Structure 1
């Protein structure tokens, strides 16, 4: 499409939405940026929206101009770069908590931090992930496994309703009683390219104080610690969601001096029941081997970012993962070898195995599109990728690790632990075959021309 053709109706669009930014304008580079600095996208136009009506106007404009629509809120979780598309920024930031019903309304573009802080004023908690700096709606659409997951389930399981704008610009309400098929798809379907979610209503839970943190052991103990953790979690209560991590702290000023440039094997987690019982569980580790550093303590859940301490500032990052059916000694050895430095700078920043199960596994396939709930463990691998060559090496390295531990992998993925082209290529592996076909049928009904094609790869079923 020529620039003249695109700009023919641009004044009308500017009158209908908060902000329209074209290539060459001063704000364009900031507007097209994502949190993951490895993504370099060049949309035909960027539209910032602050209401469902503005989203509707932007979608209708895209249809008029035959533009694909890429939806972005905080810039996390980018799949296909929005090249030559209408990049729709959902900036409907806001949260309203109802302490009587233990629910919250959350606008698209709102980060979990705002939801968490407002909910905690009433002793309540949302099912956020390891970082409150991530957008609440996008995280939830992909499933959302956080530190309360084994007790209360995934973020998508807490959703009571969504508001969505479809390809025609129609504003729709999705719930078990209104458009139930679409409600099912949005609960863990990654958005499924069916429309633009503008807000959601979620259930909150009575969590105010937790026993949480990290135990740091030396890297030479990695096999011992990982093997003990894999056995230990078989009998822990659902109030505990935990992980075992091999971490290579970078030699950067943002890292505490005692950790800079060092590697550790870490046991981390969050116990959301009685604090004394949580302390007893972690005391079993202290009695087994004294950690080098012990950061477990009782804390207000509003401080839950302290558990994973995920970075907040934008960085070029590679993320990949896989569900695991078991953890063998051979798999542990491979993960250690691929993660700890082997005579040079490490490829991975960390490899983390999270314990799933509990409430996650008790939601039926007819209730939500999210699949593979029966797997007990999820592996995430993260690396810093400052160049395309580093990104390619990261992908080759992590694929090599997956190949070595293949006997422990069912071949399924958790879509929130994938980025970019890999997320699109492996989209079918994020769902059961039945759910994937169901999503494709919905896609054919809601967006047959695949206008919303910049997220997961869910093509219309022909």
Structure 2
């Protein structure tokens, strides 16, 4: 195990997170290579009365994978990947990123629902739910979680699956890192790729109302093989962007077809009829598409999200209007469809509530200058106010920052939240693992 503290040469590098708004200074960072190291780090935290955070990919927009003057359990050294193509299972170390796992599984023509940004950590993404391109075909990442190895607050090593602690497995399929430090995950895999029909279509901002309505009609009743987003953003200055679009507001559709590539080409024809000036949809490696939305670390981020049962023309007007008044050229306004396998997972398998929601809005503010913090946060909050009449009250926690306990309860609903509290009380009664979207345990003697 490697210990890092303030003043060490690698301290700033090891404490840095994806979101540059988060600039916390833990007293100790414990880079753990195995479960024994994790137990030792937790023992140190207890002895020194230090708050605990658990860090893998570091993509938590609220910075929940670090703290000030506490101890960070850094699981990034645990990077082993074992793929069994016969059983279609992967045993994945907690420090693995989606880029690494996708590369390993695609060697066998397999994949599971993964992060849309390839540098995202597999562990935190999966435990928090795991919304990805393949979700309508194969469910969220947590729906494909078959088991975990973890270290409890008191240093015990525990294996969790359907036969061993099934109630804890239920809680971990969306309940986040509330119950222990996960050191490895067992994930179910599916036949995907290695070549898929995927890519990006884009139109200028003048077409935004027409494109938004066409996208809604195209995506809401689409076959489950389709994974897609409507993204409104400023076109970057890249070689693949037509010169007339660079620096302009555009409406883009990112899509992947999880079935046969030829079928995907047939389905995208309806959008091609709108004559997008940018058309990058073609057969490509699944691993390439999984990196298509990658953003570099070091920018400032503030995100939120809401669920919707239906998307009306009036609601689309709100979405389009919001996209025209962003405070940063890096910001994205995102609308994505759910349904399919996401909606079919019963409450007995996962604590996530409102699985029947058909749509998710995801205002995604990104900027560089700290002086612009207030304007960008205000943009997200204003959109949530404007779109509130069309929401269900549900939320997917991996898409939001620290928005309070009411939002945590909204993500699970009253019955599932109460059940999660019972699991939390059984496994972490002292709330050692509270650096997360926290499930607060019952007060114990």
Q: TM-score, normalised by structure 2?
A: 0.93
Counterpart CA distance in 2 for 1:257 and 1:283 is 21
Taking the aligned partners of 2:80 and 2:103, their CA distance within structure 1 comes to 12
Distance in 2 of aligned mates of 1:264 and 1:455: 35
SS of structure 1 residue aligned to 2:268: helix
Give the aligned partner of residue 247 of structure 2: 261
Q: 1:325 aligns with which of 295, 304, 309?
A: 309
Seen in structure 2, the aligned counterparts of structure 1 residues 254 and 83 have a Cα distance that, compared at 3 Å, is farther
1:292 to 274, 277, 285: 277
Asked if the contact 2:233–2:250 (Cα under 8 Å) also holds between the matched residues in 1, the reply is yes
Q: Equivalent residue of 1:200, what SS? A: strand
Contact 1:107/1:198, CA 8 A, preserved across alignment: yes
Q: 1:139 deviation in Å? A: 0.7
- Hey, what does 1:437 align to over in structure 2? 418
Q: In 2, distance between residues paired with 1:309 and 1:364?
A: 31
* Aligned position for 1:48: 31
CA drift of 1:456 comes to 1.0
Kept after mapping to 2: 8 A contact 1:47/1:88: yes
Distance 2:220 2:132 in 1: 19
Q: Per the alignment, in what secondary structure is the counterpart of residue 172 of structure 1?
A: strand
Equivalent-residue separation in structure 2 for 1:206 and 1:301 (angstroms) = 11
Q: What residue number does 2:188 align with?
A: 203
Aligned partner (choices 359, 362, 367) of residue 377 of structure 1: 359
Shift in Å, 1:346: 4.0
Pair 1:405 & 2:387 matched: yes
2:349 corresponds to which residue? 367
**Residue 458 (structure 1) shift:** 1.6
1:111 corresponds to which residue?
Answer: 97
**Counterpart in 1 of 2:288?**
303
Contact 2:242 2:277 in 1 (8 A): no
- Measured against aligned partners, the alpha-carbon deviations of 1:236-294 in whole angstroms (never above 9, x if no partner) come to 1111112212112356x79857354221111221111122221111112222x211110
Q: Is the 8 A contact 1:108 1:136 kept in 2?
A: yes
Contact kept, 8 Å, 1:67 with 1:451, in 2: the verdict is: no
Please name the residue that 2:74 is paired with.
Answer: 89
The alignment of Structure 1 onto Structure 2 pairs a total of residues equal to 438
- CA distance 1:425–1:432, change in 2 (3 Å): closer
Residue in structure 2 matching 1:212, options 198, 208, 216: 198
Please report the RMSD computed on the Cα atoms of aligned residues, expressed in angstroms: 2.0
Cα 1:273–1:257 change in 2 (3 A) is closer
Please give the secondary structure, in 1, of the residue aligned with 2:357.
coil
Residues 328 and 367 in structure 2, CA contact (< 8 A), matched pair in contact too: no
Could you say what secondary structure the match of 1:422 adopts? Answer: coil
Distance in 2, matches of 1:286 and 1:31, equals 45
Please report how far the alpha carbon of residue 214 of structure 1 lies from its aligned counterpart in structure 2 after TM superposition: 1.3
Q: Is the CA contact 2:28–2:71 (under 8 Å) kept in the aligned structure 1?
A: yes
1:453 paired residue number: 434
CA contact (8 A) 1:161 1:201 kept: yes
Aligned mates of 1:27, 1:50 — CA distance in 2:
17
Q: How far apart are the structure 2 equivalents of 1:234 and 1:397?
A: 27
In structure 1, the residue matched to 2:321 is: 337
The separation in 1 between residues aligned to 2:415 and 2:149, in whole angstroms, is 25
Describe the SS at the equivalent of 2:95: coil
Which digits, 9 at most, give the CA deviation of each residue in 1:181-211, with x for residues without a partner? 11111111112x2110110011111111211
CA–CA separation in structure 2 for the residues paired with 1:42 and 1:69: 13
Shifted more, 226-235 versus 383-392: the winner is 383-392
Q: Which one is further off, 436-445 or 182-191?
A: 436-445
Which of 408, 417, 421 aligns to 2:399? It is: 417
CA distance in 1 between counterparts of 2:430 and 2:41 reads: 17
Aligned partners of 1:346, 1:223: CA distance in 2, in Å? 21
